[in-house]
Amino acid sequence: MTKQQHFGWFLARGFGPQGWGHPYLDWNYRWTEPAVYQQAVRELEQAGFDLLIIEDAPSLGNASTIDLRIRQAFGGPKHDPLLLAPYLFGATSQIGIVPTVNPAAYLPYTAARQFASLQHLSGHRLGLNVVTDTGSARHFGAADPLSHDAAYDRAEEWLGGIRDLWHSWGDGGLIADPAAGRYADGSKLNAVQHRGEYFSFDGPLNAIPFTAGDPVIVSPGGSGRGLGFAGANSDVQLALAPLDAASVRDYRAKIHAAAVEKGRDPRDINILFAIQPVIVASAEEADRLVAASANPDAAAILNIAERQSSDLETDLTALDFDAPLDLSVFGDHVSQGSIKRLLGGYDPATTPLRVLLGKQAKLGRIGQGGFVGTAEELADLIEDLGESADNDGMLLWGDLHPVTVHRMLDELVPILRRRGILRSEFGGGGLRANLRDF
Ligand SMILES: Cc1cc2nc3c(=O)[nH]c(=O)nc-3n(C[C@H](O)[C@H](O)[C@H](O)COP(=O)(O)O)c2cc1C
């Protein structure tokens, strides 16, 4: 029997003006209004997707490089996805909605209360993508950002505190029996006195208990500490890794080991592998696109330089593209991982910047390390990862413009359904239950 898998969509640049400057934005893509997201999320639900994850960063980044981030709208603005969630819940009845949240931005009691309210309002369909980016510390009163690992420690304390608050109504706390003449029993509530390294607060929470489990916890961190966080806390891990069976098996083994180390059952974590496919009508068209991508024109190179300038918070567009890249242009705040990805194994001392940028444009065929192909080819890859690496599911990556959603799903969904990989109905028990259906 073909292995059934879970499917998610990652709204990759958050609740913002994604695609700004593209002609399709003129087609009534009013990103500040709910309609475009509501239309898309209905279609994702109809397609059998379990969840929509909304990326976020609460900051425009480093104070001195804000212009680079917003010039082409690559790094912001972004509105708060937590507040978009109720509009999406209201437009749907089955799919899970997962806003990204950063523990730096919410006090645990406020967070526990807001998340509990949304979990109830949505019929237990809330998930939380917990991230630990420290670049926004200055907006929240912190003199210095926490270190990478300390931010994870804080996130664990934050989440633990929130869970204690969610469970502060012990068994029998809620009675709600008119015949007994009693709504609740205060003696069954746990006071929750949290005195930790990062937070100090008292409970209990003034929200009633959940009937279908806590909100689902999602995590995307890929470092050793990030995987440890997932092993201890997550119901869903978002994985960025090469999409071959060996890499998928390897990544899954690491998460499973981290879960076992924390005394959890590895089957309780669904690992979704991120992919941004370019689905085309024929193998010939795919070959043509891949061949053309090897020779990007000047406009494509400039677009990549602008995007990289936003991500790296360093103005690459002001540099000579035909000279080697002097690494001293990057300040200390720039992620080493992002610089490494730009270099892509080339020696910066001898490689013109144009070559490094051009490499970012290079596409590959599905099954050969790339993502360009037909819907059948993508379905083959997904099926193979399920069969040979026991993969739990995929996370399709993109904006929510109707063009993007339809290009990605129109052909793929019926093929996955026919093969028994993608669900065609939901049980109705909320996101946690849906993730446990298979
Ligand atoms: C699929 C995926 C989604 C992510 N979404 C976000 C996000 O919405 N906000 C954010 O600040 N970081 C996001 N990240 C980045 C991670 O939170 C994290 O910073 C990055 O993976 C590095 O983690 P590490 O330091 O544990 O390796 C995402 C990463 C991946 C792979």
| Ligand 1 centroid to residue 125 C-alpha, Å | 22
Contact yes or no for 258/221 (Cβ under 8 A): no
Residue of 133, 311, 399 to test ligand 1 pocket, by largest number of atoms within 8 Å of CB: 133
Ligand 1 close to Cβ of residue 411 (< 6 A): no
- Kindly indicate the confidence band of residue 334, based on its pLDDT and cuts at 50, 70 and 90: confident
What average pLDDT score do residues 289-301 get? 95
Residue 45: partners with Cβ closer than 8 Å, 6 or more residues away: 92, 93, 94, 95
What average pLDDT score do residues 11-27 get? 88
Ligand 1 close to Cβ of residue 133 (< 6 A): yes
Ligand 1 close to Cβ of residue 131 (< 6 A): yes
What pLDDT sits at residue 173? 96
**24 has pLDDT over 80:** no
Ligand 1 close to Cβ of residue 105 (< 6 A): no
- Kindly indicate the confidence band of residue 337, based on its pLDDT and cuts at 50, 70 and 90: confident
What average pLDDT score do residues 94-115 get? 98
- Kindly indicate the confidence band of residue 1, based on its pLDDT and cuts at 50, 70 and 90: low
How far is it, in rounded angstroms, from Cα 88 to Cα 76?
21
What average pLDDT score do residues 114-124 get? 98
**3 has pLDDT over 80:** yes
| Ligand 1 centroid to residue 295 C-alpha, Å | 31
Ligand 1 close to Cβ of residue 311 (< 6 A): no
Q: From atom 25 of ligand 1, which residue's Cα is the shortest distance away?
A: 223
What average pLDDT score do residues 216-233 get? 96
Cis preceding-peptide flag for 77 (omega within 30 of 0): yes
Q: From atom 6 of ligand 1, which residue's Cα is the shortest distance away?
A: 55
Ligand 1 atom index nearest CA of 56: 8
Residue 406: partners with Cβ closer than 8 Å, 6 or more residues away: 43
Mean pLDDT of all residues belonging to the chain:
95
3-class secondary structure per residue, the chain: CCCCCEEEEEECCCECCCCCCCHHHHCCCCCCCCHHHHHHHHHHHHHCCCEEEECCCCCCCCHHHHHHHHCCCCCCCCECHHHHHHHHHHHCCCCEEEEEECHHHCCHHHHHHHHHHHHHHCCCCEEEEECCCCCCHHHHCCCCCCCHHHHHHHHHHHHHHHHHHHCCECCCCEEEECCCCEEECHHHECCCEEECCCCEEECCCCCCCCCCCCCEEEECCCCHHHHHHHHHHCCEEEECCCCCHHHHHHHHHHHHHHHHHCCCCHHHCEEEEEECCEECCCHHHHHHHHHHHCCCCHHHHHHHHHHHHHHHCCCHHHCCCCCECCHHHCCCCCCHHHHHHHHCCCCCCCCEHHHHHHHHHCCCEECCCECEECHHHHHHHHHHHHHHHCCCEEEEEECCCHHHHHHHHCCHHHHHHHCCCCCCCCCCCCHHHHHCCC
Determine how many CB atoms are found less than 10 A away from the CB of residue 336. 9
- Kindly indicate the confidence band of residue 19, based on its pLDDT and cuts at 50, 70 and 90: confident
What pLDDT sits at residue 135? 86
Q: From atom 14 of ligand 1, which residue's Cα is the shortest distance away?
A: 220
Q: pTM, whole model, 2 decimals?
A: 0.96
Ligand 1 atom index nearest CA of 219: 17
- Kindly indicate the confidence band of residue 94, based on its pLDDT and cuts at 50, 70 and 90: very high
Ligand 1 close to Cβ of residue 237 (< 6 A): no
Residue of 18, 51, 55, 98 to test ligand 1 pocket, by largest number of atoms within 8 Å of CB: 55
| Ligand 1 centroid to residue 425 C-alpha, Å | 30
Backbone angles phi, psi at 255, to 5 degrees: -65, -45
**160 has pLDDT over 80:** yes
CA distances from 72 to 16, 52, 176, 302, 407 (A): 12, 25, 54, 12, 24
**433 has pLDDT over 90:** yes
Kindly state the tokens that stand for 212: 């279908």
Q: From atom 5 of ligand 1, which residue's Cα is the shortest distance away?
A: 55
- Give the tens place of pLDDT for each residue, 297-323: 999 999 999 999 999 999 999 999 999
| Ligand 1 centroid to residue 227 C-alpha, Å | 12
What average pLDDT score do residues 401-420 get? 96
| Ligand 1 centroid to residue 98 C-alpha, Å | 14
Ligand 1 close to Cβ of residue 55 (< 6 A): yes
Residues of 167-204 as b/e, b for ≥16 C-beta within 10 angstroms?
A: bbbeeebeeeeeeeeeeeeeeebeebebeeebbebebb
**67 has pLDDT over 90:** yes
Q: Give all domains of the chain, ordered by start, each with its CATH number.
A: 6-277+383-435 (3.20.20.30), 295-361 (no CATH)
How far is it, in rounded angstroms, from Cα 103 to Cα 126?
17
| Ligand 1 centroid to residue 145 C-alpha, Å | 17
